[in-house]
A and B are shown apart, each in its own frame.
Chain A
Amino acid sequence: MRILVVEDDHSIATFIAGGLRQEGFAVDVAEDGVSGLELARAGPYDAAVVDVMLPRLDGLSLVTALRHAGIPTPVLFLSARHTVDDRVKGLQTGGDDYLAKPFAFAELLARLQAITRRGQRAVEATTLTVADLRLDRLTRKVDRGGTPIELRPREFALLECLMRQPGRVMSKAMIVSHVWDYSFDTGTNAVDVLVHRLRDKIDKSFSPKLLHTVRGIGYVLKVE
Chain B
Amino acid sequence: MSSRWSEGFRTALTLRLGLWYAGLFAVSAAVLLTFTYLLLGRALAAQDREVLESMLERYSFAYQRSGLSGLRSLVDADESEGRHERLLVRVTNDKAEIVYFAQPPGWTGFDLAALDERAAREPWIEIDNPIDSSSLEVGTRRLPHGLIVQIGRSSRVRDEVLTRFRDRAVEVGVIVAVIAIAGGAFVGYVALSPVRALQATTHAILETGRFDARVATRGTRDPFDRLGGSINTMLARIERLVRGMREALDNVAHDLRTPLTRLRNVAESTLQEQDPAALRDGLARALEEADRVSATLTALMDISEAETGTLRLTPETVHVAAVVDEALSLHADEAEDRGIAIASRIDPALTIVADRTRLRQVIANLIENAVKYSDAGGRVDLEAAAVPGEPSVTITVRDTGAGIAATDLPFVWDRLYRGDSSRSARGLGLGLSLVKAIVEAHGGRVGVTSAPGRGSAFTVTLPTRGHGPGPGPRP
Binding site for B on A (CB under 8 A): 82-85, 102, 154, 180, 182-190, 193-194, 196-197, 215-217
Residues of B within 8 A of A185 (CB): 295, 298
Pick the contact of B333: A154, A182, A187 (CB < 8 A): A154
Are the CB atoms of B312 and A190 closer together than 8 Å? no
Q: Are B294 and A180 in contact (CB under 8 A)?
A: no
Does A217 contact B287, Cβ atoms closer than 8 Å?
Answer: yes
Q: Are A190 and B298 in contact (CB under 8 A)?
A: no
| Given A84-B312, A85-B312, A183-B357: A190 and B288 interface contact (C-beta under 8 Å) | no
A197 and B428 contacting across the interface, CB-CB below 8 Å:
no
**In the complex, A84 Cα to B290 Cα: how many Å?**
23
By a CB distance below 8 angstroms, the chain B residues around A186 are 330, 361, 364
A residues within 8 A CB of B428?
187
Contacts of A216 in B (CB 8 A): 283-288, 291
Interface contact A190-B295, CB-CB below 8 Å: no
Give Cα A183 to B334, complex, Å: 21
- B residues near A82, Cβ cutoff 8 Å: 298
Contact between chains at A190 and B283 (CB < 8 Å): no
Q: Which of B290, B329, B360 contacts A102 (CB 8 A)?
A: B290
Question: Is B255 in the interface zone, CB < 8 Å from A?
Answer: no
Q: Are B330 and A190 in contact (CB under 8 A)?
A: yes
Q: Which 8 pairs between the two chains have the least Cβ-Cβ distance?
A: A216-B287, A215-B284, A216-B284, A193-B334, A193-B333, A190-B330, A187-B295, A216-B288
Known: A193-B333, A193-B334, A197-B333. 17 other contacts (CB 8 A): A82-B298, A83-B312, A102-B290, A154-B333, A180-B330, A184-B357, A187-B295, A188-B331, A190-B331, A190-B333, A194-B333, A197-B337, A215-B281, A215-B288, A216-B283, A216-B284, A217-B284
Set of chain B residues within 8 Å of A180, measured between Cβ atoms: 326, 329-330
- Give min CB distance, A158 to chain B, whole Å: 10
Among B300-353, those with CB < 8 Å from A are 312, 314, 326, 329-331, 333-334, 337
User: Bound complex: CA of A180 vs CA of B368, how far in Å?
Assistant: 15
Q: Which of B424-447 contact A (CB under 8 A)?
A: 426-428
In the complex, A172 Cα to B433 Cα: how many Å? Answer: 24
Q: How far is the CB of A174 from chain B (nearest CB, A)?
A: 14
- B:245-293 near A, CB below 8 Å: 280-281, 283-288, 290-291
The size bracket of the interface on B is 20 to 34
Separation of A190 and B333 alpha carbons in the complex (Å):
7
Which interface residue of A102, A154, A216 has the most chain B CB atoms within 10 A? A216
Interface of B is mostly: helix
A184 to B298, CA, bound (A): 10
Q: What are 25 A-B pairs at a CB distance below 8 A?
A: A82-B298, A84-B312, A84-B314, A102-B290, A154-B333, A180-B326, A182-B330, A182-B360, A183-B357, A184-B357, A186-B330, A186-B364, A187-B295, A187-B299, A188-B368, A189-B334, A190-B331, A190-B333, A190-B334, A215-B285, A216-B285, A216-B286, A216-B287, A216-B288, A217-B284
The smallest beta-carbon distance between B297 and chain A, in angstroms, is 9
Which residue from A102, A189, A196 sits with its C-beta under 8 Å from B294? A102
Q: Mark B91-108, 1 if CB is under 8 A from A, else 0.
A: 000000000000000000
Q: Smallest distance from the beta carbon of B290 to chain A beta carbons, Å?
A: 7
Which residues of A are found within 8 Å of B357, using beta-carbon distances? 183-184
A197 to B357, CA, bound (A): 27
| Minimal beta-carbon separation of A176 from chain B (angstroms) | 8
A182 contacts across to B, CB distance below 8 A: 330, 360
B441 CB, min distance to chain A CBs, angstroms: 14
Q: How far is the CA of A188 from the CA of B285 in the complex (A)?
A: 17
Please indicate the chain A residues that have their CB under 8 angstroms from the CB of B312 in the complex.
Answer: 83-85
By a CB distance below 8 angstroms, the chain A residues around B299 are: 187
CB A104 to nearest CB in B, in angstroms, measures 8
Chain A residue numbers with a CB within 8 Å of B333 are 154, 190, 193-194, 197
Q: How far is the CA of A187 from the CA of B292 in the complex (A)?
A: 8
Q: How far is the CB of B59 from chain A (nearest CB, A)?
A: 107
Question: Given A85-B312, A197-B337, A215-B287, are A188 and B330 also a contact pair (CB < 8 Å)?
Answer: yes
Complex CA distance for A184 and B361, rounded to whole angstroms:
10
* Contact pick for A188, options B286, B291, B298, B364, CB 8 Å: B364
Residues in B with CB closer than 8 Å to A217 are: 284, 287
Docked Cα-Cα span, A102 to B263, in Å, equals 15
Give the residues in chain A near B426, CB-CB below 8 Å. 189
What CA separation (Å) do A11 and B334 show in the bound complex?
Answer: 39
- CA–CA, A215 and B285, complex, Å: 8
Using Cβ atoms and an 8 Å threshold, which residues of chain B touch A189?
334, 426
CA distance A190 to B332 in the complex (A): 9
Among the interface residues A83, A185, A186, A217, which one has the most CB atoms of the partner chain B within 10 A?
A: A186
Residues on A with beta carbons closer than 8 Å to the beta carbon of B294: 102
Smallest beta-carbon distance A11→chain B, Å: 14
Chain A residues with Cβ below 8 Å from B364 are 186, 188
A193 touches B298 (CB 8 A): no
A83: B residues at CB distance < 8 A: 312
Look across to chain A and name the residue whose beta carbon is closest to the beta carbon of B364: A186
* A190 and B283 alpha carbons, distance in the complex (Å): 23
Q: Which of B285, B314, B329, B368 meets A154, CB within 8 Å? A: B329
Q: Which residues of A contact B329 (CB under 8 A)?
A: 154, 180
Which B residues are in CB contact (< 8 Å) with A190? Answer: 330-331, 333-334
Interface centre among A82, A183, A190, A194, by most chain B C-beta atoms within 10 angstroms, is A190
Which of B286, B299, B368, B428 lies at the interface centre, i.e. has the most chain A CB atoms within 10 A of its CB? Answer: B368
CA gap between A182 and B287 in the complex, in Å: 22
> How many whole Å from A72's CB to the nearest CB in chain B?
29
Q: How distant is B247 from chain A, measured CB to nearest CB, in Å? A: 20
**Separation of A144 and B397 alpha carbons in the complex (Å):** 40
Closest to B368 in A: A188
Cβ-closest chain A residue relative to B305: A83
Residues in B with CB closer than 8 Å to A194 are: 333
A61–B161 Cα distance when bound, in Å, is: 86
Find chain B residues with CB under 8 A from A184 CB.
298, 357
Residues of B within 8 A of A154 (CB): 329, 333
What residues on A are CB-neighbors of B334 within 8 Å?
189-190, 193
By beta carbon, the residue of chain A nearest B287 is A216
Q: Which B residues lie within 8 Å of A197 (CB)? A: 333, 337
